[in-house]
A and B are shown apart, each in its own frame.
Chain A
């Protein structure tokens, strides 16, 4: 188990815990993503981790282990926190260490962020996207041991953002320090995070491995944070299939098979969204209606057809389930959703 870098003990922020409420949490050196809807408390938690704010009650401990000459922590806040009187070039030059461990010049950092032509420009002359890229490379160029990013690429187009995420991962791996970031983008979590903390109304509703959140989320709202899902209540499926099926099934784990005259579900609606199809089905036996997201099949089941659903658990899920069975405690790393 990696050591805890941040340890929050009943920490609250805002009067009456209006922003963060009684948070007890350990964040270790693995890449950690903070998830939650707008106003859930992600930025507040990051500003606590960055030491920008202090909890009004409870405590927070930060135990950095920087190498010689390394800055313990740096942060890319939501408003970018740029220094208005410095140019882009000066921003990077000011934070670069005397003996950098990553052999990149200021110009090379700017080039990586596509800011070469704005090297002499102050933040006032930049768009939101350019400012967020400058804030991003300033944090990376600081070579700090721990790096925090608050929705770092929210203003960057999705076509380019994956390249910047790769850069974040490359630098933090090279520096071997903790990375904590908040995001609304499931792809960046699935690609880069190992641990995830989900917040809702200032409380932690989940804290654990990404795979666990993906396949075993505590509820629908948390499941939705990592993209499309199917949620099966106890009586949604006909008897016989219920026991085998987990509550949350991701679209690529479901196959919709046209069973001619004998399927347990009747298709009442079908539509495609990119690579996914969304079907509304009615259980023939119980008359209960359910919605299903699955990978698009060819041809799309026609309305009125009788179909059955086939569950093919993902390999990652089998690993997760296997680990949990071994430990005998499926929820050991999960915060109490009722908190």
Chain B
């Protein structure tokens, strides 16, 4: 299949997914409006498919896809269903976090109440500036993510421009030639990105988005949302992990007996963890600076509208590379480090960390907007005031509250970003140096996603499944351990005389 045919397939899938995402994400977002004890479990159920590692999903479903090689239609539909369900939560986040359109839902309804007296042209204008713009971020974000998907497509043998480009780059095509091929899909991405960014810049600050009341948005069917969420959880977490776990447990003995494999796996996992952690810290720090720069201090109509616009443009310039996808970012950086001036960087992990930071930046911003850690909160400040109490009991309660209201959520955001960055395949493949120098000696290290991806093409086997399982379990244990240790450490570090 030619590159252009692969591009067409990606485009068709992304367009259909974007159209379906509008009603489906509306139903899913209704589950997020639930209050009470089910709020957090439902939020986890709705959003968790987005966190399902593509490599594991692809690996979990690859055997089934192999059995259907003679029925490609089934494979196509299965792949389409998987990526739609995986990226719908991103549409939900876009729905919740995007700025309100110029014409509100109530304004649209008020216009409809005028009935036949209104002119068709004006009615269309109102619909375009209301309902259309309200759904634009949802459809746009889902389009971009589906269009950029790579790992699942590759492991399920599905035609996609990303797979085509990745394969041609790995078989030795010059980065410049790869980049030239990439121009068409990048142009398509920017056709979606530009209006999306233009809309976000025009209709208001991100803080206005935070003040949006989800309840006032037009709702979908809650039961449909429940069915979608359950199906996504089943197909993207339970089934692949169940298959991998079953295979991995069978292969545990052969894995542990192969000391060379265990050692190289430990080294590769460590490399991925270091890369992921470094990029997550950088992405989180930059995202906080970016969010701070566009925060509420600028009310519309203030004297510094030009400054506000400049900060908005800067914000979206930083977000755009990551939104264009990690393959685009990595290939652009790969091309950049061919320049003689930047060539010394090729033997370091700096290009990989930089690429992962750019890739993770928009995700860090979106997650923070969703869970509200992008700005200081009143209840966090009250906890800080309480931590100033002279009596030790109230003071330590205040500090624990500070952790619970602010730092804990930041930590959770960091964990999510860390895992995305750690499991990113393209940066590890194209930008990581083949050897690293540890205590003066040079060692060959292949970050874990690269090793897993290479081995996954040879079918499912016990040791590989064990390694795939450990790539979820080990970071999970590390994050749980950090989550257990950090509150105490945080309280100790924060123990200082504070003033209101």
A333 to chain B, nearest CB (A): 26
A15 to B307, CA, bound (A): 9
Inter-chain contacts of A71 with B (CB < 8 A):
385-386, 388-390, 394
- Assuming the contacts A73-B385, A83-B404, asked whether A15 and B500 have C-beta atoms less than 8 A apart, the reply is no
Inter-chain contacts of B112 with A (CB < 8 A):
none
B304 at the interface (CB under 8 A from A): yes
A52 to B301, CA, bound (A): 24
Contact for B378 among A79, A94, A95, CB less than 8 A? A79
Inter-chain contacts of B388 with A (CB < 8 A):
71-72
Contact for A15 among B302, B383, B394, CB less than 8 A? B302
A304 at the interface (CB under 8 A from B): no
A15 to B397, CA, bound (A): 35
Q: Which of B376-402 contact A (CB under 8 A)?
A: 376-379, 381-383, 385-386, 388-391, 393-394, 397, 401
B407 to chain A, nearest CB (A): 14
A75 to B377, CA, bound (A): 13
Contact for B500 among A64, A69, A84, CB less than 8 A? A64
- In the complex, the answer to whether A83 meets B36 with C-beta atoms within 8 Å is no
A44 to chain B, nearest CB (A): 10
Q: How many A-B residue pairs have CB under 8 A?
A: 101
Inter-chain contacts of B500 with A (CB < 8 A):
50-51, 62, 64, 72-73
A75 to B303, CA, bound (A): 31
A30 to chain B, nearest CB (A): 20
Number of chain A interface residues as a range: 35 or more
Inter-chain contacts of A241 with B (CB < 8 A):
none
- In the complex, the answer to whether A94 meets B386 with C-beta atoms within 8 Å is yes
A317 at the interface (CB under 8 A from B): no
B198 at the interface (CB under 8 A from A): no
Inter-chain contacts of B390 with A (CB < 8 A):
66, 68-71
- In the complex, the answer to whether B381 meets A18 with C-beta atoms within 8 Å is no
- Measured CB to CB, the nearest residue on chain B to A66 is B390
B457 at the interface (CB under 8 A from A): no
- Measured CB to CB, the nearest residue on chain A to B384 is A51
Inter-chain contacts of A152 with B (CB < 8 A):
none
Q: What string of 1s and 0s marks CB contacts (under 8 Å) between A136-178 and chain B?
A: 0000001010000000000000000000000000000000000
- Measured CB to CB, the nearest residue on chain B to A68 is B390
Max chain A Cβ within 10 angstroms of own Cβ: one of B298, B381, B500: B500
A242 to chain B, nearest CB (A): 42
B492 at the interface (CB under 8 A from A): no
- In the complex, the answer to whether B297 meets A14 with C-beta atoms within 8 Å is yes
- Assuming the contacts A14-B298, A16-B302, A71-B394, asked whether A124 and B381 have C-beta atoms less than 8 A apart, the reply is no
A204 at the interface (CB under 8 A from B): no
Inter-chain contacts of A69 with B (CB < 8 A):
390-391
- In the complex, the answer to whether A95 meets B386 with C-beta atoms within 8 Å is yes
A37 to chain B, nearest CB (A): 16
- Assuming the contacts A15-B298, A18-B299, A94-B401, asked whether A50 and B381 have C-beta atoms less than 8 A apart, the reply is yes
- In the complex, the answer to whether B397 meets A94 with C-beta atoms within 8 Å is yes
- Assuming the contacts A15-B303, A18-B302, asked whether A83 and B35 have C-beta atoms less than 8 A apart, the reply is no
A98 to B496, CA, bound (A): 20
Inter-chain contacts of B404 with A (CB < 8 A):
83, 85
- In the complex, the answer to whether B297 meets A77 with C-beta atoms within 8 Å is no
A96 to B499, CA, bound (A): 19
A75 to B298, CA, bound (A): 24
- Assuming the contacts A71-B394, A75-B382, A95-B386, asked whether A19 and B299 have C-beta atoms less than 8 A apart, the reply is yes
- In the complex, the answer to whether A77 meets B378 with C-beta atoms within 8 Å is yes
- Assuming the contacts A15-B307, A51-B499, asked whether A124 and B302 have C-beta atoms less than 8 A apart, the reply is no
- Assuming the contacts A18-B302, A19-B299, asked whether A98 and B391 have C-beta atoms less than 8 A apart, the reply is yes
- Measured CB to CB, the nearest residue on chain B to A78 is B378
| Interface residue SS majority, chain A | loop
Inter-chain contacts of B405 with A (CB < 8 A):
83
Contact for B499 among A17, A62, A77, A144, CB less than 8 A? A62
A96 to B394, CA, bound (A): 8
Inter-chain contacts of B297 with A (CB < 8 A):
13-15, 18-19, 56
B39 at the interface (CB under 8 A from A): yes
A142 to B388, CA, bound (A): 12
Contact for A75 among B39, B385, B389, CB less than 8 A? B385
A95 to B385, CA, bound (A): 10
- In the complex, the answer to whether B394 meets A124 with C-beta atoms within 8 Å is no
A51 to B303, CA, bound (A): 25
Q: Which of A89-104 contact B (CB under 8 A)?
A: 94-99
A142 to B387, CA, bound (A): 12
A322 at the interface (CB under 8 A from B): no
A81 at the interface (CB under 8 A from B): yes
- In the complex, the answer to whether B299 meets A97 with C-beta atoms within 8 Å is no
- In the complex, the answer to whether B394 meets A95 with C-beta atoms within 8 Å is yes
- In the complex, the answer to whether B303 meets A16 with C-beta atoms within 8 Å is yes
A78 to chain B, nearest CB (A): 8
- In the complex, the answer to whether B394 meets A98 with C-beta atoms within 8 Å is yes
Inter-chain contacts of B383 with A (CB < 8 A):
83
Contact for B382 among A14, A16, A81, A124, CB less than 8 A? A81
A80 to B381, CA, bound (A): 12
A14 to B378, CA, bound (A): 17
A82 to B36, CA, bound (A): 15
B426 to chain A, nearest CB (A): 38
Inter-chain contacts of A124 with B (CB < 8 A):
35-36, 39
A259 to B378, CA, bound (A): 60
- Measured CB to CB, the nearest residue on chain B to A14 is B297
A74 to chain B, nearest CB (A): 6
- In the complex, the answer to whether A18 meets B378 with C-beta atoms within 8 Å is no
A80 to B379, CA, bound (A): 8
- In the complex, the answer to whether A52 meets B381 with C-beta atoms within 8 Å is yes
Inter-chain contacts of B385 with A (CB < 8 A):
50-51, 71, 73-75, 144
- Extra 10 A-B pairs, beta carbons < 8 Å, given A71-B389, A72-B500: A16-B302, A19-B297, A50-B500, A51-B385, A56-B297, A70-B390, A77-B378, A79-B378, A124-B39, A125-B35
A-B pairs with beta carbons under 8 Å apart, 29 shown = A14-B298, A14-B302, A15-B298, A15-B307, A15-B308, A16-B302, A16-B304, A18-B299, A18-B301, A19-B299, A51-B499, A51-B500, A66-B390, A68-B390, A69-B390, A71-B385, A72-B500, A73-B500, A80-B378, A81-B379, A83-B383, A84-B379, A85-B404, A94-B401, A95-B394, A97-B391, A99-B391, A124-B35, A144-B385
